[in-house]
Amino acid sequence: MVQATGQKIKWGILGTGWIAGKFTKDLVHARNGECVAVGSRTMDSAKRFAEQHHIPRIYGSYEELVSDPDVDAIYVATPHPFHKDSVMTCLRAGKAVLCEKPFTVNSGELEELVRYAQEHKLFLMEGMWTRFLPPIMKVREWLKDGRIGDVQLVKGEFGFRSGWEPEGRLLNPNLGGGALLDVGIYPISFASMIFGAQPQTISSTAHIGETGVDEQFSILLSYGSGRTASLNGAIRLELNNEVYIHGTEGTIHVPSFFNAQTVSLHVGGEEVERFTDDRECEGFTFEAEEVGRCLIEGLTESPVMTLEESLGIMKILDQVRGQWGLRYPFEV
């Protein structure tokens, strides 16, 4: 465990896909971290990624990466079905782990990872980068201060129209494709952040496309006392990609909430406050800095994105898929 105050966390990147590139590019802006190594299934892939991002240490296997004694934390960026094994490989090597969302494909896999991390006192966190963006932190501040009264309704959606690639990641059930895991987890995690509890009831519907994955869905979560989240997601349908938080005294609007740069507070139908983030990075920097902060302070999980909450979110995803009768081919 990294303990020294002010020390920069040395990061390794496991996987060299699109999202790994996004995270690594942003890591340059992190005040308490730096990228020192990358590992891929092939040396050629690792070399190309290292050259693009100026990474000094290059490994042609994940096992070599996690064996590097100078790497403090590893960002796991493999496709959804491989998250569990990738994270476990890191944990068994004694590394702190930030795993790209969704944490795993089901709650059973995540329970195994959480149990191992807690037993061995290792840091583990889901990479829900939205949670740490400055505008979303401002939303949390407004809610804590009671600026819109008691929250009664959260309306959120995230969707885009992807191209027709049946063998591609988004539409391939063997790769955990579909709207729920890829984009649906954003509004579901957002609702979890707002209400801070598991829903009492879950109702949902989905369109299962010809490849066997959910192409679009609608979910209604009830938290009791009239508190409700109405959520939508899609990978073959353009949506507005925004969140409205309605309280008894006002409303918060978060346009493009998954990578939010602006949020606004409305009372009596009028905008009374607006917060705009002028960050230079895309936004992955902030989750990396949170991992660094936790490691330097000796924490094994983040109080902002706890393991208990991530597990609760995964259980919601499981229940929703159960309502649709949707199982991935690789699930036992």
pTM for this entry: 0.96
Count Cβ atoms below 10 Å from residue 92 Cβ, excluding itself. Answer: 12
Q: Give me the CATH topology for the region 9-128.
A: Rossmann fold (3.40.50)
Question: Into which CATH architecture does domain 134-276+314-324 fall?
Answer: 2-Layer Sandwich (3.30)
Taking only the tens place, the pLDDT of each residue in 159-213 is 999 999 999 999 999 999 999 999 999 999 999 999 998 999 999 999 999 999 9
State the alpha helices, DSSP H only, in the chain. 18-27, 43-53, 62-66, 83-92, 107-119, 134-144, 179, 185-195, 285-296, 307-324
Residue ranges per structural domain of the chain:
9-128, 134-276+314-324
Q: Is the pLDDT of residue 6 over 80?
A: no
Amino acid residing at 328: Y
Same fold, 9-128 and 134-276+314-324: no
Find all residues with CB under 8 Å of 76, minimum gap 6, and list them: 14, 15, 83, 86, 87, 90, 97, 98, 99, 100
Calculate mean pLDDT across residues 111-118.
Answer: 98
The phi, psi pair for 9, rounded to 5°, reads -75, 130
Residue 156 and residue 187 in contact, taking contact as beta carbons nearer than 8 Å: yes
Q: How far is the C-alpha of 32 from the C-alpha of 11, rounded, in Å?
A: 10
Taking only the tens place, the pLDDT of each residue in 229-264 is 999 999 999 999 999 999 999 999 999 999 999 999
Count CA within 13 A, CB hemisphere, residue 245.
26
- Helix, strand, coil shares of the chain, percent, nearest 5, are 35, 25, 35
Taking only the tens place, the pLDDT of each residue in 19-53 is 999 999 999 999 999 999 999 999 999 999 999 99
Residue 30, CA distances (Å) to 10, 57, 89, 282 in order: 11, 19, 25, 12
Q: Which residues pair with 233 in a beta bridge?
A: 158, 217
